[in-house]
Amino acid sequence: MFNVAKKTFTYGAYQVTLETGEIARQAGGAVLVSMDDTVVLVSAVGNKTAKPDQDFFPLTVDY
C-alpha cells in the first residue's frame, strides 16, 4: 500500500509526531507535524525542468 514513515519524539514537555507517505501523495514531498492539539501539513511541489530565460526562482507560500 503506502510507504508510511512515522517518528515520535519529546520536545520539552510536548510529544511531537512527524508523518509522511500517506497524506498529500501527489506532492513532491509532504510531512504532517502534530504537537498536542496542533497539526500542520507542510508540502512542496517542484517542476523537474526550468523555464528558458528564467533567472530567478519563483516561490509561492499558501497558508
Query: What is the Cα–Cα distance from 43 to 26, expressed in whole angstroms?
Result: 10
pLDDT at 5: 95
* Bridge-based pairing state of the strands 14-20 and 5-11: antiparallel
Tens place of pLDDT for every residue, the chain, 63 residues?
778 999 999 999 999 999 999 988 888 899 999 999 999 999 988 888 888 888 887 777 777
Q: Which residues pair with 11 in a beta bridge?
A: 14
Structural domain includes residue 27: yes
Structural domain includes residue 49: no
CB 4 within 8 A of CB 20: yes
Structural domain includes residue 14: yes
Q: Can you tell me whether residue 29 is helix, strand or coil?
A: strand
Structural domain includes residue 54: no
Structural domain includes residue 57: no
CB 32 within 8 A of CB 16: no
Residue range of the domain that includes 38: 5-44
Count of domains forming the chain: 1
